[in-house]
Protein backbone atom coordinates (compact mmCIF):
# COMPACT_ATOMS: atom_id res chain seq x y z
CA UNK A 1 0.00 0.00 0.00
CA UNK A 2 1.19 3.49 -0.86
CA UNK A 3 0.31 5.03 2.50
CA UNK A 4 0.33 8.63 1.32
CA UNK A 5 -2.31 7.90 -1.34
CA UNK A 6 -6.01 7.38 -0.48
CA UNK A 7 -7.51 3.91 -0.38
CA UNK A 8 -5.94 0.54 -0.90
CA UNK A 9 -6.24 -0.62 -4.48
CA UNK A 10 -3.49 -3.26 -4.24
CA UNK A 11 -4.85 -5.52 -1.48
CA UNK A 12 -5.98 -8.87 -2.91
CA UNK A 13 -6.80 -10.84 0.24
CA UNK A 14 -8.30 -8.72 3.06
CA UNK A 15 -7.22 -11.33 5.62
CA UNK A 16 -3.50 -11.33 4.80
CA UNK A 17 -0.74 -8.99 5.92
CA UNK A 18 0.24 -6.27 3.46
CA UNK A 19 3.58 -4.39 3.35
CA UNK A 20 3.42 -0.60 3.42
CA UNK A 21 5.33 1.73 1.10
CA UNK A 22 6.55 4.79 3.02
CA UNK A 23 8.37 7.93 1.99
CA UNK A 24 10.96 7.04 4.65
CA UNK A 25 11.12 4.07 7.01
CA UNK A 26 12.89 4.28 10.40
CA UNK A 27 13.40 0.94 12.11
CA UNK A 28 13.03 -0.04 15.78
CA UNK A 29 16.54 1.23 16.57
CA UNK A 30 15.92 4.61 14.96
CA UNK A 31 17.94 3.80 11.82
CA UNK A 32 16.68 5.14 8.47
CA UNK A 33 16.90 2.11 6.20
CA UNK A 34 17.48 1.92 2.45
CA UNK A 35 14.24 1.19 0.63
CA UNK A 36 10.81 2.38 1.70
CA UNK A 37 8.84 -0.90 1.79
CA UNK A 38 9.98 -2.88 4.84
CA UNK A 39 9.53 -6.63 4.62
CA UNK A 40 7.90 -8.85 7.24
CA UNK A 41 10.25 -8.83 10.24
CA UNK A 42 11.30 -12.23 11.71
CA UNK A 43 8.47 -14.45 10.39
CA UNK A 44 10.50 -17.56 11.30
CA UNK A 45 11.01 -16.66 14.97
CA UNK A 46 8.80 -19.61 15.91
CA UNK A 47 11.78 -21.84 15.02
CA UNK A 48 13.79 -20.47 17.95
CA UNK A 49 14.09 -22.82 20.94
CA UNK A 50 12.11 -21.51 23.95
CA UNK A 51 13.07 -21.89 27.58
CA UNK A 52 9.61 -22.34 29.07
CA UNK A 53 7.59 -24.17 26.42
CA UNK A 54 7.77 -27.86 25.51
CA UNK A 55 7.63 -29.78 22.22
CA UNK A 56 4.06 -30.69 23.12
CA UNK A 57 3.17 -26.99 22.97
CA UNK A 58 4.29 -26.80 19.35
CA UNK A 59 2.23 -27.25 16.21
CA UNK A 60 4.09 -27.39 12.90
CA UNK A 61 2.23 -25.95 9.92
CA UNK A 62 3.51 -25.97 6.34
CA UNK A 63 3.06 -23.49 3.52
CA UNK A 64 4.92 -23.41 0.25
CA UNK A 65 7.27 -26.17 1.37
CA UNK A 66 8.33 -24.31 4.53
CA UNK A 67 7.58 -25.36 8.09
CA UNK A 68 6.08 -22.83 10.49
CA UNK A 69 6.44 -23.98 14.11
CA UNK A 70 3.78 -22.34 16.31
CA UNK A 71 3.88 -22.56 20.11
CA UNK A 72 0.54 -22.37 21.97
CA UNK A 73 -1.37 -22.16 18.71
CA UNK A 74 -4.64 -20.24 19.33
CA UNK A 75 -6.09 -21.18 15.95
CA UNK A 76 -6.92 -18.69 13.21
CA UNK A 77 -8.48 -15.30 13.96
CA UNK A 78 -12.02 -14.49 12.83
CA UNK A 79 -11.73 -13.55 9.19
CA UNK A 80 -13.76 -11.71 6.60
CA UNK A 81 -15.40 -14.37 4.43
CA UNK A 82 -15.87 -12.68 1.07
CA UNK A 83 -18.31 -15.46 0.02
CA UNK A 84 -20.39 -15.34 3.20
CA UNK A 85 -20.08 -11.93 4.83
CA UNK A 86 -23.00 -12.74 7.15
CA UNK A 87 -21.12 -15.59 8.82
CA UNK A 88 -20.31 -15.19 12.55
CA UNK A 89 -16.58 -14.93 11.77
CA UNK A 90 -17.15 -12.19 9.20
CA UNK A 91 -19.44 -10.26 11.53
CA UNK A 92 -16.92 -10.45 14.36
CA UNK A 93 -14.12 -9.36 12.02
CA UNK A 94 -16.18 -6.35 10.84
CA UNK A 95 -16.98 -5.43 14.46
CA UNK A 96 -13.27 -5.47 15.33
CA UNK A 97 -12.31 -3.08 12.52
CA UNK A 98 -15.33 -0.89 13.27
CA UNK A 99 -14.17 -0.65 16.89
CA UNK A 100 -10.67 0.49 15.91
CA UNK A 101 -12.13 3.20 13.67
CA UNK A 102 -14.46 4.36 16.47
CA UNK A 103 -11.72 4.36 19.10
CA UNK A 104 -9.50 6.45 16.85
CA UNK A 105 -12.09 9.23 17.24
CA UNK A 106 -11.26 9.31 20.97
CA UNK A 107 -7.77 10.67 20.31
CA UNK A 108 -8.71 14.15 19.18
CA UNK A 109 -7.45 17.03 21.30
CA UNK A 110 -10.90 18.64 21.32
CA UNK A 111 -12.64 15.57 22.76
CA UNK A 112 -14.89 16.82 25.58
CA UNK A 113 -15.54 13.42 27.18
CA UNK A 114 -14.04 13.30 30.69
CA UNK A 115 -12.71 10.11 32.29
CA UNK A 116 -11.55 9.08 35.74
CA UNK A 117 -8.30 7.31 34.86
CA UNK A 118 -7.35 6.35 38.42
CA UNK A 119 -7.40 2.75 39.71
CA UNK A 120 -10.74 3.66 41.31
CA UNK A 121 -12.34 3.34 37.85
CA UNK A 122 -9.90 1.51 35.55
CA UNK A 123 -8.34 -1.94 35.76
CA UNK A 124 -9.29 -5.00 37.80
CA UNK A 125 -10.50 -7.28 35.02
CA UNK A 126 -11.90 -10.31 36.78
CA UNK A 127 -11.46 -12.68 33.83
CA UNK A 128 -10.44 -12.51 30.18
CA UNK A 129 -12.92 -13.78 27.57
CA UNK A 130 -11.60 -16.88 25.83
CA UNK A 131 -14.04 -17.48 22.93
CA UNK A 132 -13.97 -14.73 20.28
CA UNK A 133 -17.75 -14.40 20.34
CA UNK A 134 -17.37 -13.03 23.91
CA UNK A 135 -15.02 -10.24 22.84
CA UNK A 136 -17.74 -7.65 22.02
CA UNK A 137 -19.11 -7.85 25.57
CA UNK A 138 -15.59 -7.28 26.96
CA UNK A 139 -14.77 -4.17 24.90
CA UNK A 140 -16.74 -0.91 24.99
CA UNK A 141 -17.40 -0.13 21.32
CA UNK A 142 -18.33 3.55 21.67
CA UNK A 143 -16.83 4.58 25.02
CA UNK A 144 -13.52 2.75 24.75
CA UNK A 145 -11.75 0.50 27.22
CA UNK A 146 -12.51 -2.96 28.54
CA UNK A 147 -14.61 -4.52 31.29
CA UNK A 148 -12.35 -3.49 34.17
CA UNK A 149 -14.38 -2.17 37.13
CA UNK A 150 -11.63 -0.45 39.13
CA UNK A 151 -10.85 -0.93 42.82
CA UNK A 152 -12.49 0.84 45.77
CA UNK A 153 -9.46 0.77 48.10
CA UNK A 154 -5.69 0.74 47.94
CA UNK A 155 -4.95 -2.41 50.00
CA UNK A 156 -1.54 -1.11 51.04
CA UNK A 157 -2.78 2.19 52.48
CA UNK A 158 -6.35 1.19 53.30
CA UNK A 159 -7.56 4.40 51.64
CA UNK A 160 -9.68 4.90 48.51
CA UNK A 161 -7.82 5.62 45.29
CA UNK A 162 -8.04 9.34 44.51
CA UNK A 163 -9.99 10.02 41.29
CA UNK A 164 -8.12 11.70 38.45
CA UNK A 165 -10.54 13.15 35.90
CA UNK A 166 -8.99 14.22 32.59
CA UNK A 167 -10.16 14.67 28.98
CA UNK A 168 -10.44 11.33 27.23
CA UNK A 169 -8.52 12.71 24.24
CA UNK A 170 -5.54 13.47 26.46
CA UNK A 171 -5.61 10.13 28.26
CA UNK A 172 -5.83 8.06 25.07
CA UNK A 173 -3.04 9.96 23.31
CA UNK A 174 -0.70 9.73 26.31
CA UNK A 175 -1.53 6.05 26.70
CA UNK A 176 -0.86 5.34 23.02
CA UNK A 177 2.50 7.12 23.03
CA UNK A 178 3.67 5.85 26.43
CA UNK A 179 3.29 2.20 25.40
CA UNK A 180 4.12 2.64 21.69
CA UNK A 181 7.80 1.67 22.10
CA UNK A 182 8.57 2.30 18.47
CA UNK A 183 11.79 3.62 16.90
CA UNK A 184 14.59 4.72 19.29
CA UNK A 185 12.67 3.31 22.28
CA UNK A 186 13.40 0.65 24.87
CA UNK A 187 11.11 -1.71 22.83
CA UNK A 188 8.00 -3.47 24.22
CA UNK A 189 9.82 -6.19 26.21
CA UNK A 190 12.45 -3.68 27.29
CA UNK A 191 9.68 -1.52 28.73
CA UNK A 192 9.02 -4.23 31.30
CA UNK A 193 12.66 -4.32 32.34
CA UNK A 194 12.33 -0.59 32.97
CA UNK A 195 9.30 -1.33 35.15
CA UNK A 196 11.30 -4.04 36.96
CA UNK A 197 14.12 -1.54 37.58
CA UNK A 198 11.66 1.02 38.95
CA UNK A 199 10.13 -1.56 41.29
CA UNK A 200 13.57 -2.80 42.41
CA UNK A 201 14.58 0.74 43.36
CA UNK A 202 11.31 1.71 45.01
CA UNK A 203 11.76 2.78 48.65
CA UNK A 204 8.78 0.65 49.74
CA UNK A 205 10.03 -2.51 48.04
CA UNK A 206 12.01 -5.22 49.81
CA UNK A 207 14.06 -7.60 47.66
CA UNK A 208 12.71 -10.96 48.78
CA UNK A 209 12.43 -13.56 46.03
CA UNK A 210 8.72 -14.44 45.69
CA UNK A 211 8.16 -12.05 48.59
CA UNK A 212 9.53 -14.60 51.03
CA UNK A 213 12.73 -15.54 52.82
CA UNK A 214 15.82 -13.42 53.40
CA UNK A 215 16.43 -10.03 51.85
CA UNK A 216 18.67 -10.47 48.81
CA UNK A 217 21.61 -8.26 48.01
CA UNK A 218 21.36 -6.16 44.86
CA UNK A 219 23.38 -8.53 42.67
CA UNK A 220 21.40 -11.63 43.68
CA UNK A 221 18.11 -9.85 43.11
CA UNK A 222 19.15 -8.46 39.73
CA UNK A 223 20.43 -11.81 38.43
CA UNK A 224 17.36 -13.75 39.54
CA UNK A 225 14.80 -11.17 38.44
CA UNK A 226 16.41 -10.58 35.05
CA UNK A 227 16.74 -14.33 34.51
CA UNK A 228 13.04 -14.89 35.17
CA UNK A 229 11.75 -11.90 33.22
CA UNK A 230 14.14 -12.45 30.31
CA UNK A 231 12.97 -16.03 29.91
CA UNK A 232 9.34 -14.94 29.87
CA UNK A 233 9.62 -12.22 27.22
CA UNK A 234 11.88 -14.50 25.15
CA UNK A 235 9.20 -17.21 25.17
CA UNK A 236 6.51 -14.61 24.46
CA UNK A 237 8.41 -13.47 21.35
CA UNK A 238 8.71 -17.03 20.07
CA UNK A 239 5.01 -17.76 20.53
CA UNK A 240 3.75 -14.40 19.21
CA UNK A 241 5.98 -14.29 16.14
CA UNK A 242 5.39 -17.94 15.29
CA UNK A 243 1.66 -17.12 15.27
CA UNK A 244 2.25 -13.92 13.29
CA UNK A 245 4.37 -15.71 10.70
CA UNK A 246 1.90 -18.54 10.14
CA UNK A 247 -1.47 -16.74 10.24
CA UNK A 248 -0.12 -13.64 8.47
CA UNK A 249 -3.17 -11.59 9.47
CA UNK A 250 -3.97 -8.13 8.14
CA UNK A 251 -3.40 -4.84 10.01
CA UNK A 252 -6.15 -2.21 10.58
CA UNK A 253 -4.72 0.35 8.16
CA UNK A 254 -5.04 -2.10 5.26
CA UNK A 255 -8.41 -3.64 6.15
CA UNK A 256 -10.21 -0.40 7.07
CA UNK A 257 -9.14 1.31 3.86
CA UNK A 258 -10.00 -1.80 1.80
CA UNK A 259 -13.47 -2.16 3.35
CA UNK A 260 -14.14 1.57 2.93
CA UNK A 261 -13.18 1.26 -0.72
CA UNK A 262 -15.88 -1.38 -1.13
CA UNK A 263 -18.51 0.81 0.53
CA UNK A 264 -20.78 0.25 3.55
CA UNK A 265 -22.54 -2.96 4.59
CA UNK A 266 -25.57 -1.63 6.52
CA UNK A 267 -27.98 -0.04 4.07
CA UNK A 268 -28.81 -2.06 0.96
CA UNK A 269 -30.78 0.85 -0.51
CA UNK A 270 -27.73 3.07 -0.94
CA UNK A 271 -25.52 2.95 -4.00
CA UNK A 272 -22.51 2.59 -1.70
CA UNK A 273 -23.72 -0.80 -0.36
CA UNK A 274 -21.34 -3.75 -0.45
CA UNK A 275 -21.48 -6.84 1.78
CA UNK A 276 -17.73 -6.43 2.18
CA UNK A 277 -18.00 -2.74 3.11
CA UNK A 278 -17.32 -1.15 6.48
CA UNK A 279 -20.17 -1.11 9.03
CA UNK A 280 -21.84 2.25 9.61
CA UNK A 281 -22.31 3.56 13.14
CA UNK A 282 -24.25 6.83 13.54
CA UNK A 283 -22.12 9.50 15.15
CA UNK A 284 -18.86 7.73 14.33
CA UNK A 285 -18.87 5.99 10.95
CA UNK A 286 -21.74 7.29 8.90
CA UNK A 287 -22.91 8.43 5.50
CA UNK A 288 -22.15 12.20 5.34
CA UNK A 289 -25.20 12.70 3.10
CA UNK A 290 -27.61 11.45 5.77
CA UNK A 291 -25.99 12.12 9.13
CA UNK A 292 -23.58 14.35 11.00
CA UNK A 293 -20.95 12.95 13.35
CA UNK A 294 -19.72 14.62 16.51
CA UNK A 295 -16.12 14.06 15.40
CA UNK A 296 -14.08 15.62 12.63
CA UNK A 297 -14.72 13.85 9.36
CA UNK A 298 -12.06 12.14 7.31
CA UNK A 299 -12.61 9.74 4.46
CA UNK A 300 -12.09 6.18 5.66
CA UNK A 301 -9.94 5.74 2.55
CA UNK A 302 -7.46 8.12 4.24
CA UNK A 303 -7.63 6.46 7.68
CA UNK A 304 -4.29 6.52 9.46
CA UNK A 305 -3.24 5.05 12.84
CA UNK A 306 -1.94 7.28 15.62
CA UNK A 307 1.74 6.57 14.95
CA UNK A 308 4.87 8.15 13.51
CA UNK A 309 4.60 8.76 9.72
CA UNK A 310 8.00 7.06 9.29
CA UNK A 311 6.73 3.91 11.03
CA UNK A 312 2.91 3.91 10.63
CA UNK A 313 2.46 0.22 11.52
CA UNK A 314 5.15 -2.31 12.53
CA UNK A 315 6.32 -4.43 9.57
CA UNK A 316 4.75 -7.74 10.55
CA UNK A 317 1.30 -9.28 10.90
CA UNK A 318 -1.22 -8.15 13.50
CA UNK A 319 -2.42 -11.46 14.96
CA UNK A 320 -1.49 -11.85 17.77
CA UNK A 321 -0.46 -8.66 19.55
CA UNK A 322 3.18 -8.79 20.63
CA UNK A 323 2.53 -5.98 23.14
CA UNK A 324 -0.26 -7.98 24.77
CA UNK A 325 1.76 -11.19 24.88
CA UNK A 326 4.93 -9.56 26.21
CA UNK A 327 3.10 -7.45 28.76
CA UNK A 328 0.89 -10.13 30.24
CA UNK A 329 3.78 -12.61 30.44
CA UNK A 330 5.88 -9.94 32.17
CA UNK A 331 3.04 -8.99 34.52
CA UNK A 332 2.66 -12.62 35.63
CA UNK A 333 6.41 -12.87 36.27
CA UNK A 334 6.44 -9.61 38.24
CA UNK A 335 3.52 -10.87 40.35
CA UNK A 336 5.29 -14.17 41.11
CA UNK A 337 8.71 -12.60 41.47
CA UNK A 338 7.62 -10.06 44.09
CA UNK A 339 4.99 -12.27 45.74
CA UNK A 340 2.48 -9.44 45.30
CA UNK A 341 0.12 -8.54 42.46
CA UNK A 342 0.26 -4.86 43.49
CA UNK A 343 3.00 -2.36 42.76
CA UNK A 344 4.90 -1.17 45.85
CA UNK A 345 2.60 1.04 47.89
CA UNK A 346 -0.41 -0.17 45.92
CA UNK A 347 0.12 1.99 42.84
CA UNK A 348 2.62 2.91 40.13
CA UNK A 349 2.37 6.03 38.00
CA UNK A 350 3.85 7.91 35.08
CA UNK A 351 3.43 11.66 34.76
CA UNK A 352 2.97 13.35 31.37
CA UNK A 353 3.33 17.14 31.54
CA UNK A 354 0.89 19.24 29.52
CA UNK A 355 2.11 20.41 26.10
CA UNK A 356 5.44 18.61 26.61
CA UNK A 357 5.00 14.83 26.60
CA UNK A 358 3.44 14.01 23.24
CA UNK A 359 5.78 13.47 20.30
CA UNK A 360 3.29 12.75 17.53
CA UNK A 361 1.60 16.14 18.10
CA UNK A 362 1.24 18.89 20.70
CA UNK A 363 -0.22 17.85 24.02
CA UNK A 364 -1.63 16.73 26.30
CA UNK A 365 -3.75 19.79 27.05
CA UNK A 366 -3.57 19.06 30.81
CA UNK A 367 -1.20 17.11 33.01
CA UNK A 368 -2.00 13.38 32.78
CA UNK A 369 -0.68 10.78 35.22
CA UNK A 370 -1.06 7.17 34.11
CA UNK A 371 -1.76 5.01 37.15
CA UNK A 372 -1.91 1.26 37.74
CA UNK A 373 -2.67 -0.65 40.93
CA UNK A 374 -1.32 -4.02 39.77
CA UNK A 375 1.09 -5.37 37.20
CA UNK A 376 -1.84 -6.94 35.36
CA UNK A 377 -3.64 -3.57 35.26
CA UNK A 378 -0.58 -2.03 33.62
CA UNK A 379 -0.45 -4.90 31.14
CA UNK A 380 -4.12 -4.48 30.26
CA UNK A 381 -3.65 -0.75 29.61
CA UNK A 382 -0.68 -1.54 27.39
CA UNK A 383 -2.93 -3.86 25.38
CA UNK A 384 -5.65 -1.23 25.03
CA UNK A 385 -3.11 1.37 23.95
CA UNK A 386 -2.45 -0.57 20.75
CA UNK A 387 -6.14 -0.56 19.84
CA UNK A 388 -6.47 3.18 20.52
CA UNK A 389 -3.26 3.68 18.55
CA UNK A 390 -4.76 1.94 15.51
CA UNK A 391 -2.21 -0.87 15.46
CA UNK A 392 -4.23 -3.84 16.74
CA UNK A 393 -7.73 -5.27 16.99
CA UNK A 394 -9.37 -6.87 20.01
CA UNK A 395 -8.99 -10.18 18.15
CA UNK A 396 -5.21 -9.59 18.15
CA UNK A 397 -5.14 -8.37 21.74
CA UNK A 398 -7.14 -10.81 23.85
CA UNK A 399 -5.54 -14.05 22.58
CA UNK A 400 -2.17 -12.38 23.22
CA UNK A 401 -3.15 -11.64 26.82
CA UNK A 402 -4.31 -15.23 27.35
CA UNK A 403 -1.14 -16.73 25.90
CA UNK A 404 0.95 -14.27 27.90
CA UNK A 405 -0.76 -15.43 31.11
CA UNK A 406 0.22 -19.02 30.38
CA UNK A 407 3.77 -18.16 29.35
CA UNK A 408 4.40 -15.91 32.35
CA UNK A 409 3.39 -18.54 34.89
CA UNK A 410 5.35 -21.28 33.17
CA UNK A 411 8.41 -19.13 32.56
CA UNK A 412 8.64 -18.20 36.22
CA UNK A 413 8.18 -21.82 37.31
CA UNK A 414 10.93 -22.83 34.89
CA UNK A 415 13.26 -20.11 36.18
CA UNK A 416 12.50 -21.09 39.77
CA UNK A 417 13.47 -24.70 39.02
CA UNK A 418 16.99 -23.43 38.30
CA UNK A 419 17.22 -20.89 41.07
CA UNK A 420 15.83 -23.13 43.80
CA UNK A 421 18.54 -25.75 43.34
CA UNK A 422 21.33 -23.23 43.90
CA UNK A 423 23.25 -24.42 40.83
CA UNK A 424 22.44 -24.27 37.14
CA UNK A 425 22.37 -27.56 35.28
CA UNK A 426 24.18 -26.31 32.19
CA UNK A 427 24.25 -28.94 29.41
CA UNK A 428 27.63 -29.85 27.94
CA UNK A 429 28.06 -29.95 24.20
CA UNK A 430 30.67 -31.59 22.03
CA UNK A 431 33.59 -29.24 21.45
CA UNK A 432 33.78 -27.47 18.11
CA UNK A 433 36.87 -26.53 16.14
CA UNK A 434 38.47 -23.40 17.52
CA UNK A 435 37.59 -20.29 15.56
CA UNK A 436 40.54 -18.34 14.13
CA UNK A 437 41.82 -15.32 16.00
CA UNK A 438 40.24 -12.09 14.82
CA UNK A 439 40.90 -8.44 15.60
CA UNK A 440 38.79 -5.35 14.88
CA UNK A 441 40.46 -1.98 15.45
CA UNK A 442 40.14 0.79 16.39
CA UNK A 443 37.30 -0.20 18.67
CA UNK A 444 35.44 2.01 19.57
CA UNK A 445 35.56 3.55 16.11
CA UNK A 446 34.33 6.95 15.02
CA UNK A 447 31.73 7.71 12.36
CA UNK A 448 34.34 9.73 10.47
CA UNK A 449 36.89 6.99 9.77
CA UNK A 450 37.30 3.28 9.17
CA UNK A 451 38.16 0.07 11.02
CA UNK A 452 40.45 -2.76 10.04
CA UNK A 453 39.57 -6.45 10.41
CA UNK A 454 42.39 -8.99 10.57
CA UNK A 455 42.37 -12.78 10.99
CA UNK A 456 44.84 -15.63 10.53
CA UNK A 457 46.15 -16.26 7.03
CA UNK A 458 44.20 -19.54 7.02
CA UNK A 459 41.07 -17.46 6.52
CA UNK A 460 42.27 -15.92 3.26
CA UNK A 461 39.36 -15.00 0.97
CA UNK A 462 36.83 -15.62 3.76
CA UNK A 463 33.76 -13.34 3.66
CA UNK A 464 33.54 -10.43 6.07
CA UNK A 465 30.20 -8.88 7.00
CA UNK A 466 29.05 -5.99 9.22
CA UNK A 467 25.58 -6.14 10.85
CA UNK A 468 23.65 -4.04 13.30
CA UNK A 469 22.02 -5.79 16.26
CA UNK A 470 18.76 -6.21 14.31
CA UNK A 471 20.54 -8.22 11.63
CA UNK A 472 20.68 -5.55 8.91
CA UNK A 473 23.86 -5.93 6.86
CA UNK A 474 25.76 -2.70 6.19
CA UNK A 475 28.98 -3.95 4.62
CA UNK A 476 30.43 -7.09 3.11
CA UNK A 477 33.58 -8.10 1.31
CA UNK A 478 36.51 -10.50 1.40
CA UNK A 479 39.76 -10.49 3.31
CA UNK A 480 42.90 -9.70 1.35
CA UNK A 481 46.19 -11.45 2.08
CA UNK A 482 48.83 -9.23 3.72
CA UNK A 483 51.83 -11.26 4.84
CA UNK A 484 50.98 -13.59 7.71
CA UNK A 485 47.52 -12.06 8.11
CA UNK A 486 44.55 -11.19 5.97
CA UNK A 487 42.73 -7.93 6.44
CA UNK A 488 39.64 -6.00 5.39
CA UNK A 489 38.82 -2.29 5.82
CA UNK A 490 35.31 -1.08 6.74
CA UNK A 491 34.33 2.52 6.12
CA UNK A 492 32.39 3.83 9.15
CA UNK A 493 31.42 7.14 7.57
CA UNK A 494 27.89 5.95 6.74
CA UNK A 495 27.19 4.37 10.13
CA UNK A 496 25.15 5.78 12.98
CA UNK A 497 26.55 5.55 16.52
CA UNK A 498 25.72 2.19 18.09
CA UNK A 499 26.75 -1.42 18.52
CA UNK A 500 27.55 -3.55 15.45
CA UNK A 501 28.70 -7.10 14.82
CA UNK A 502 31.63 -7.97 12.55
CA UNK A 503 31.60 -11.57 11.32
CA UNK A 504 34.12 -13.50 9.24
CA UNK A 505 33.73 -17.05 7.97
CA UNK A 506 30.85 -19.48 7.92
CA UNK A 507 29.44 -22.18 10.20
CA UNK A 508 31.55 -23.45 13.11
CA UNK A 509 34.60 -21.65 11.75
CA UNK A 510 32.92 -18.24 11.88
CA UNK A 511 34.21 -15.60 14.27
CA UNK A 512 32.21 -12.59 15.50
CA UNK A 513 33.36 -9.45 17.28
CA UNK A 514 31.37 -6.52 18.63
CA UNK A 515 32.18 -3.07 17.30
CA UNK A 516 31.17 0.15 19.06
CA UNK A 517 30.78 3.19 16.79
CA UNK A 518 30.72 6.65 18.39
CA UNK A 519 30.64 10.20 17.05
291 has a pLDDT exceeding 50 = no
Mean pLDDT (whole number) for 302-328: 85
- Phi, then psi, of 468 in degrees rounded to 5: -90, 180
Span 134-162, pLDDT tens digits: 999 999 999 999 999 999 999 999 999 99
C-alpha–C-alpha distance, residues 152 and 158, integer Å: 10
Mean pLDDT of the chain: 87
* Span 432-468, pLDDT tens digits: 555 567 888 898 888 888 888 887 766 666 788 888 8
Q: DSSP secondary structure string, 35-70?
A: SSSPPPS-TTGGGSPPSS--GGGEEEEEETTEEEEE
Is 481's pLDDT higher than 80? no
Q: pLDDT class for 292, splitting at 50, 70, 90?
A: very low
Average pLDDT (120-143) is 94
pLDDT in tens, 486-501: 777 888 888 888 899 9
State yes or no: pLDDT of 504 exceeds 90: no
Phi, psi of 231, rounded to the nearest 5 degrees: -65, -35
Q: Are 138 and 96 in contact (CB under 8 A)?
A: no
pTM: 0.80
pLDDT above 60: residue 502: yes
Task: Quick: pLDDT tens for 167-208.
Answer: 999 999 999 999 988 766 788 899 999 999 999 999 999 999
| Of residues 59, 54, 128, 117, the one with CA closest to residue 332 | 128
Amino acid sequence: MMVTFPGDSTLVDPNRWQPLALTMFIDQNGNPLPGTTPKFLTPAWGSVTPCAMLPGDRTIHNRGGFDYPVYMDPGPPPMLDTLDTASPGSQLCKWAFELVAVWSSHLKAADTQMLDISPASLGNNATLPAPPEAFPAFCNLTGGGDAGTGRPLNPRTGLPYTPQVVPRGDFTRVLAEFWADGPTSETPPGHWFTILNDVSGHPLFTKRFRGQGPVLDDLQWDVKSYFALGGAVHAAAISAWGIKGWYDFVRPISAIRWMAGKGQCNDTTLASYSPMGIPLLPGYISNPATGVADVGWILAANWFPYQRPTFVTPPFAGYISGHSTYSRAAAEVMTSLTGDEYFPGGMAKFHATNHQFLVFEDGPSVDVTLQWATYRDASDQCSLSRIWGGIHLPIDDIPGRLIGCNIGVRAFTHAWSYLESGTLAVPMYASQPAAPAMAVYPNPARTTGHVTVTVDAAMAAAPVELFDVMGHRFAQGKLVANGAQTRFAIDTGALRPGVYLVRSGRGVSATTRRLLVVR
